[in-house]
Chain A
Amino acid sequence: MNKVELRGITVHYGEHAVLEDFSLTVKAGRIIGIVGPSGCGKTTIVRSICGFINPEKGEVLIDGKLVYSKTGRVNVPPELRRIGVVFQDYAVWPHLSTYDNVSYPLKKRKTPKTQIPELVEEVLEQVNMIGYEKYLPSQLSGGQQQRVAIARALTTSSDFLIMDEPITNLDAKLREQMLVEIRMLQEKLGTTIIYITHDQEAAMQLCDEIVILNDNGSIAQIGTDEEIIKKPANRFVFQFIGVSNFLPTCIKGGKCYLSLDEEILLDDNIPQDYPIGKTRALLGVRPMDIVFDDNSPIKAKIVQATFLGNIYTYFISLGKEEYRVQRIATGETDDDKYREDLTVGVKFVNVKYFDMEESV
């Protein structure tokens, strides 16, 4: 079943188009990540679903029911849409205690007075905030305010949550912990969660499905983390989800060459995913997928070598550019034989080809 359906949503702020004919379907009972660079329109999507803004065009359906349609003149107010929202800036009310913040939705939904304390307790337990009932937000840390915000969203609806960059303001360790907790919560309650973030790693760790947005708010790719890693839809996605190197290539006489100062043969055939009908394209490769191989005809000079953790990071110069290479230490004695100023042969594995013209 579909929890949310957006159909052809268009939102402008003044002249500036944020969403243009944006459509998206979210299935019930899953965590879906919406990932995109800052300012691409993620919060605007949230606000359209919740009813805080009225898009100029398009329709919004929740649980199959039309809640917004410009042409049909339907606009269910936000308070009747029953969505638990965790805001980017928490939006925990500073003048109310933890208990009052969390019980507010219950009061507004006319829950019988006698049940409220019990329900609040239950939710606070889920977010590990028992004992903080009387605290004001100013007496809580960022992470604790975050939990209050999640608890409040849960009392609003344990069925459908939207979290807008909920953990960006937390430190790394707490972030990790919150991700695990959100996942556990979802599994326990079967909640549908739309998880908004600009952090692709968190999204891949948490979400069943990921929607990657382009800079202009359009959808670049939808898929599981595996699909996105293995088959990035375009150069933007490839670049967005990890550190990436790009090298120019060309096709001549049915063969594929690296086109640096001189042209070096890469492939005797035109690679399968080479942009159709193009004679030039960019080769994309991850640092881990550049391999040192003395037999390779492609020669590069190591400009810089560093060792951190158990990973070697190199910068190699090839043609006019520098590229990043990573290698996991094998623990053998010749691990450090690749030193600065050494000229080495390099080979590329797991390469992807991308259209050159595509703007990023």
Chain B
Amino acid sequence: MIPSFKKFNSRFNFAFIDENTKREIRRKLLKAICLPGYQVPYSSPEMPIARGWGTGGLHVTLSVIGKDDVFKIIDQGSDASVNACNLRDFVHRVTHCRVTFDTHAATLIQTRHRIPEEQLNDGQILVFQVPQPEPLRAVERYETKTREMHGEADYARMWVSLYEAFVRYGDIMQGAGYPVMVNGRYIMSPSPIPRWDVPNLHQSDCLYLFGAGREKRLYAIPPHTDVVPLEFDDVKFRIEQFPGIRCSLSGTGGAFMDELYNDLGHFRHVINDSDFLDKLVEHKTRPQQWSNKYLQQVLDEMNANPDLES
């Protein structure tokens, strides 16, 4: 049985952070939700882990978590990485909330660099740990300037850098953290998620919250907001392609893949999202995935060649 959390038999407040600071963070989150994609400065208080190691995500999680929440945390798609385990233990220790690996059962999910493959619903919040919140940083070093550029929607240099990337590499080569236009107003960095996940930010049912602890910024995408990856008329945004590739554990495709190498240098593909993979392998069911046109194309191609094995 999980012991319930009592105010006076603990050395710290519920969810570790004191109530006034939590209130400050929630106020900033409300502002962020009101201005989708806009970076709101916040206090970023000291935590028992170093800034830049998920503190921003943790601030958000601990400020919004309630006693009835069911908490899940993933690190690059995995519930079981050292980082995920430690942060899950920590959140559990300071809140006594239920924790889970099951994406569908969770009400609050903290993530590092992935959106779960399973579609999130209107009862769920996804909290991103963000290392660098400023999408314009690569083209402008100074914070005062980038804030002015956002204020005036002056995104010329951002666009030129995409043009330059296309000229040099033949593609808008933004590996992870592909910049998006939120609600037709602010260019936003979705944190280093793969391009595979980017379309799922658009018109979702769930609430997305972003916390950058080291940079002291919060931002948000409320449910049902337009989120459009930057693209040209003739050079379009594309997600990662895994042509004809199947997961070596589940035998299926249509999900973001890891390449795993063994000592002999051979590699195989495995679905990156550990909970999604578990459900495929152990429960023999394919959870409801996001519906976006990019994924739909992948699934259609997969279903057209059902026997293909990697």
The finding on whether chains A and B are genuine partners in a shared complex, rather than unrelated, reads no
